[in-house]
Chains A and B, each alone.
Chain A
Amino acid sequence: MIELISTIGAPFPVVDQNYLLEARQMQALSFAMHIPFVCFGVAFPALVVFMEWLGQRTGQPHYTEIARRWSKVMITLFAAGVVTGTLLSFELGILWPGFMSNFGDVFGLAFGLEGFSFFIEAIFIAIYVYGWDRMSPRLHLLTGVPVIAAGITGSLMVIAVNAWMNNPGGFDMAGTEVTDVRPWEALFGNSHLWPQLTHMYVAAYIAVGFLMAGVYAFLWLKGRRDRYVRTAMLVPLALAVVAAPVQLVIGDWSAKNVAESQPVKLAAMEGLYKTTDGAPETIGGWYNEKTNEIEYGIQIPKMLSLLAYHDPNARVQGLEIVPPEDRPPVNVVRIAFQTMVGIGTFMVLLSFWFLLSWFRKKQVPRSKWFYRGVMLAGPGALIATISGWVVTEVGRQPWVVYEILRTESAVTGADGIVFGFAALAIVYSVLIAATIWVLFRLARKPLSPGIADDAVTDDRGTPVAG
């Protein structure tokens, strides 16, 4: 198949692009910008609507106040998600015309459906946020439901594209021509879709849960232990501590999936050069590209076979099965993978700490270290999410469409992409700074009268542990 790759796509012959690396980094930068906002687009509406529902159920005003304030944050982050996403759509064409022109018809459909999802999300998010007090409470709550649903379908569609890139199907190749395109099969008949979707989905809930909880954990540590802060911390935290252990299981599902269909990616994640029976897992260290060994790592015998195939003696394929030019950059992939797993493990420990204290002592942990941990877990979750995408994307290199189209055959032939990259980096910095500034402003807005000086007891009537 490899000969065919360099000639694929008659009107789009392979070009000489000196700035392939810059183009890749521009793509990476834009994704790294989009993903944090996306987490909020996916998971935050559910949290806000849940708060509003709690307020209506219990009749206690602080829930509603939280929901109302969060909804402002939600629409701010949504706007940022929309524009960073718009930029990504532009970049697909600007940076990867070879990819789009050869395969746009295979996967484009998903982006069409995604577009509609975000249309719906945009419409109802506006109705929801601008509609407080302007319709009956029940109706207002209902207008939040399409926002949640559209977040799910929207990300389903994008991930379907990514899963297809990892495990392409739904078309045939006749020579260098893509023929017999079957778009529905390409997108939805794909075994990679479900683990990737679930994993990303849960990642979004973890990230939003810990980030929101982290903000209030900070206030908690500063001594603000009123009902408002307590609720605003505990509800997202409850979500995150349930989701974090679940993520471990789903991550394992993802890894098995990769082991089956992308053995080279798995080998890069683990830095395994030789195909091995009963392969060991190595933690930490650095993969030496010359000796093809990991230096300074800690080895756990047979662990990798056990994790990847649930059999300690299973055979794990190594990087040696493909020539060097078909291997991804091992250290990038491996370090990203270990970062993700490390952070995931840390969050699971945090979860157990909380759950133990909650079910054994019926109270939240007393130690300050727990709250410091929660504050760290929020940004940590974003780092884990981005690292996960680095594993997926860089681990797929040198392919854009796995074993069909190489990245260098997809890239634009335009000169001067570097300047575009620089301009974009500057604008992104402005956008980040502005968003953070706005979030701080929103946070400093005084609470509604009557909420701020609420009693310092929790919602179950017990005095707050200190």
Chain B
Amino acid sequence: MLAEIPVFLMLVGIAAYIVLAGADFGAPFWALTARGDRAEEIREQTHRSMAPVWEANHVWLIFVLVVCWTAYPDVFGSIFSTLWIPLLLAAIGILLRATAYVVGGVADRTAIGWVSAVSSLLTPFMLGTVIGAIADGRVPVGNAAGDPITSWLNPVSISIGILAVAFCAYLAAIYLAADAERSGKDDLAEAFRVRAIGSGFVSGALALAGLGVMATDDRSIYDGLVSGAGLIAVIVSGAAGLAAIALLWLRRYPAARVAGALATVAVVAGWGLAQSPEILPGLTIDEAAAPENVIIALLFSIGVGLLVLIPSMLLLYGLVLGGRFDADPQKEKGVLAPPGAGIDPISSPGRRAAIGAIVLLGLGALLGVGLDGGFLMYLGILVLLTGLGTGAVLLARS
């Protein structure tokens, strides 16, 4: 059981990265495709609304990598050596995106927009193919043991790569619609709403097509996705996706964001469920896991880290979503208001839940590590996970 927890955390991290950074990768797509009178406005909005949370979103990826190499070192070595080409290209995309982001703050947007959009397509696509390669069982255990090309350029990987691109655009459109509405730009919100609905349908269709592709490929995880817990996850994801579109129709943007996030989380969960207990072909999670004390130490540090991190995250997202970093501060009630004042999207029951989550995390960390082995340790880890889950829900809601 202990050996599986890090996988679970990695899946949480991947879901968080898709939900949070996905919107960031999708935004330039809309900036680039913007035409007509409102084009300039759209570009402006896409840049501005991402800027303050850019780096923070990004750290989720690092989190996933670090958990992977600490808890399942052989898996990390196998994946990165076989899939080095898409991974390097994804990293280069991130690098270019950052360059565009840094330069975009002071430069005019046209050329930058191109670099940014190209890199934004590159990274989700490549990371999508990596997920596809793992899900399709094309990464054998060993140093560069898989095929350097067909491991990630195959129908399943490609369809997941394309899905990832569409999905990022979709998440970005929802995010931008909500953001525009909040700053009182209703017609801009309307423009993004239309885009969100459109790209939502495209993503849904691509997801179905992807399932179809998997069905034709015998080594894929298709069977796991259409039976048992995997199937439930797929259904939840589909329902959440439809709900998101309905909510967009009704202009309930914050709720649509939650539904969109849920659709992502469910897909990722489905992937995990369909693939377990194997993590790579012939290698189960248990076999791949690092020694127990290493995993406990890792969980302990993650617990302590989250203790500091969750309140900080809530503060940042609260400030951003509360509109406190928007262009004109005079719009706000009091410029020198206390820090809590900006955090209105987090209601007070939410705040109580946040405190609860932090207490749970602390308790769990103490129990899990202070008591080496035995029943209490598992209890502690359970408490830790509950806290983590609550925190994740809170973040998704904010």
Measuring CB to CB, which residues of chain A are less than 8 angstroms from any residue of chain B?
11-13, 15, 76, 78-80, 82-87, 89-90, 92-94, 97-98, 100-106, 108-109, 111-116, 118-120, 122-127, 130-131, 133-136, 139, 146, 180-184, 412-417, 420, 423-424, 427-428, 430-431, 434-435, 437-438, 441-442
**Contact of B232 with A by CB under 8 A:** no
In the assembled complex, the Cα of A420 lies from the Cα of B84 at a distance in Å of 9
Task: Please judge, given known A-B contacts A135-B336, A414-B84, whether A97 and B298 are in contact too, CB under 8 Å.
Answer: no
Chosen A-B contacts, 24 in total, with CB atoms closer than 8 Å, are: A76-B102, A83-B94, A93-B65, A97-B80, A98-B77, A98-B143, A101-B73, A101-B76, A104-B77, A112-B301, A113-B305, A116-B309, A122-B58, A125-B55, A131-B324, A133-B329, A135-B338, A181-B290, A183-B294, A420-B88, A424-B88, A430-B99, A431-B98, A438-B103
**Contact of B91 with A by CB under 8 A:** yes
User: Which one of B188-196, B263-271, B312-320 is at the interface?
Assistant: B312-320
Partner of A183, one of B54, B73, B96, B293: B293
CB of B103 within 8 A of CB of A437, answer: yes
Task: Please judge, given known A-B contacts A80-B102, A181-B294, A184-B297, whether A97 and B144 are in contact too, CB under 8 Å.
Answer: yes
> Chain B residues near A89 (CB, 8 Å)?
62, 65-66
Return the 4 tightest CB-CB contacts between A and B, nearest first.
A108-B70, A93-B80, A101-B77, A104-B73
CB of B74 within 8 A of CB of A101, answer: yes
Query: What residue of chain A has the Cβ atom nearest to residue B316's Cβ?
Result: A123
> Chain A residues near B87 (CB, 8 Å)?
90, 93-94
**Contact of B1 with A by CB under 8 A:** no
**Contact of B250 with A by CB under 8 A:** no
Query: What residue of chain B has the Cβ atom nearest to residue A182's Cβ?
Result: B293
In the assembled complex, the Cα of A61 lies from the Cα of B51 at a distance in Å of 27
0/1 interface trace, chain B 92-118, chain A, CB 8 Å (1 if under): 101110110111011100000000000
CB of B312 within 8 A of CB of A124, answer: yes
Query: Shortest distance in angstroms between B291's beta carbon and chain A's nearest beta carbon?
Result: 5
Task: Please judge, given known A-B contacts A87-B91, A181-B290, whether A97 and B77 are in contact too, CB under 8 Å.
Answer: yes
In the assembled complex, the Cα of A83 lies from the Cα of B93 at a distance in Å of 10
CB of B84 within 8 A of CB of A104, answer: no
> Chain B residues near A135 (CB, 8 Å)?
336-339
0/1 interface trace, chain B 238-252, chain A, CB 8 Å (1 if under): 000000000000000
CB of A83 within 8 A of CB of B95, answer: yes
> Chain A residues near B335 (CB, 8 Å)?
133-134
CB of A123 within 8 A of CB of B315, answer: yes
CB of A111 within 8 A of CB of B80, answer: no
Query: Shortest distance in angstroms between B70's beta carbon and chain A's nearest beta carbon?
Result: 3
SS class, residues of chain A in contact with chain B: helix
CB of A427 within 8 A of CB of B95, answer: yes
> Chain A residues near B293 (CB, 8 Å)?
181-183
Interface residues on B, range: 35 or more
CB of A126 within 8 A of CB of B84, answer: no
**Contact of B158 with A by CB under 8 A:** no
> Chain A residues near B61 (CB, 8 Å)?
86
> Chain A residues near B325 (CB, 8 Å)?
130-131, 134
0/1 interface trace, chain B 44-77, chain A, CB 8 Å (1 if under): 0000000111111011011101110111011011
Which of A78, A180, A431 lies at the interface centre, i.e. has the most chain B CB atoms within 10 A of its CB? A431
In the assembled complex, the Cα of A109 lies from the Cα of B84 at a distance in Å of 23
> Chain B residues near A11 (CB, 8 Å)?
74, 78, 141-143
CB of A423 within 8 A of CB of B92, answer: yes
**Contact of B302 with A by CB under 8 A:** yes
Query: Shortest distance in angstroms between B384's beta carbon and chain A's nearest beta carbon?
Result: 15
SS class, residues of chain B in contact with chain A: helix
Query: What residue of chain A has the Cβ atom nearest to residue B91's Cβ?
Result: A90
Task: Please judge, given known A-B contacts A119-B309, A181-B294, whether A414 and B148 are in contact too, CB under 8 Å.
Answer: yes
CB of A100 within 8 A of CB of B76, answer: yes
Give 15 A-B pairs besides A100-B69, A428-B95 with Cβ atoms closer than 8 angstroms: A11-B143, A79-B98, A86-B94, A93-B77, A100-B80, A108-B73, A112-B305, A122-B59, A126-B55, A134-B335, A135-B336, A139-B338, A412-B80, A412-B84, A438-B106
**Contact of B183 with A by CB under 8 A:** no
In the assembled complex, the Cα of A96 lies from the Cα of B28 at a distance in Å of 33
Query: Shortest distance in angstroms between B116's beta carbon and chain A's nearest beta carbon?
Result: 12
Task: Please judge, given known A-B contacts A12-B142, A87-B95, A441-B107, whether A82 and B65 are in contact too, CB under 8 Å.
Answer: no
> Chain A residues near B313 (CB, 8 Å)?
119, 123
Task: Please judge, given known A-B contacts A12-B143, A93-B87, A97-B78, whether A427 and B62 are in contact too, CB under 8 Å.
Answer: no
Which of B143, B145, B302 lies at the interface centre, i.e. has the most chain A CB atoms within 10 A of its CB? B143
List residues of B (10-42) whose CB comes within 8 Å of A's CBs.
Answer: none
CB of A116 within 8 A of CB of B99, answer: no
In the assembled complex, the Cα of A356 lies from the Cα of B52 at a distance in Å of 45
Task: Please judge, given known A-B contacts A116-B309, A126-B53, A133-B335, whether A431 and B95 are in contact too, CB under 8 Å.
Answer: yes
In the assembled complex, the Cα of A13 lies from the Cα of B329 at a distance in Å of 60
Partner of A416, one of B101, B102, B103, B148: B148
In the assembled complex, the Cα of A367 lies from the Cα of B297 at a distance in Å of 57
In the assembled complex, the Cα of A89 lies from the Cα of B301 at a distance in Å of 19
CB of A127 within 8 A of CB of B77, answer: no
CB of B106 within 8 A of CB of A441, answer: yes
Query: Shortest distance in angstroms between B104's beta carbon and chain A's nearest beta carbon?
Result: 10
Query: Shortest distance in angstroms between A188's beta carbon and chain B's nearest beta carbon?
Result: 11
Task: Please judge, given known A-B contacts A97-B143, A112-B298, whether A123 and B56 are in contact too, CB under 8 Å.
Answer: yes
Which of A87, A115, A131 lies at the interface centre, i.e. has the most chain B CB atoms within 10 A of its CB? A115
Query: What residue of chain A has the Cβ atom nearest to residue B74's Cβ?
Result: A101
**Contact of B177 with A by CB under 8 A:** no
> Chain B residues near A112 (CB, 8 Å)?
63, 66-67, 70, 298, 301-302, 305
**Contact of B81 with A by CB under 8 A:** yes
In the assembled complex, the Cα of A78 lies from the Cα of B88 at a distance in Å of 21
> Chain B residues near A427 (CB, 8 Å)?
92, 95-96
Task: Please judge, given known A-B contacts A98-B143, A146-B312, whether A86 and B58 are in contact too, CB under 8 Å.
Answer: yes
Task: Please judge, given known A-B contacts A90-B87, A115-B62, A125-B55, whether A82 and B98 are in contact too, CB under 8 Å.
Answer: yes
Query: Shortest distance in angstroms between A29's beta carbon and chain B's nearest beta carbon?
Result: 13
Partner of A105, one of B70, B81, B145: B70
CB of A120 within 8 A of CB of B55, answer: no
Query: Shortest distance in angstroms between B316's beta carbon and chain A's nearest beta carbon?
Result: 5
Query: Shortest distance in angstroms between B125's beta carbon and chain A's nearest beta carbon?
Result: 16
CB of A136 within 8 A of CB of B336, answer: yes
CB of B88 within 8 A of CB of A127, answer: no
CB of B294 within 8 A of CB of A103, answer: no
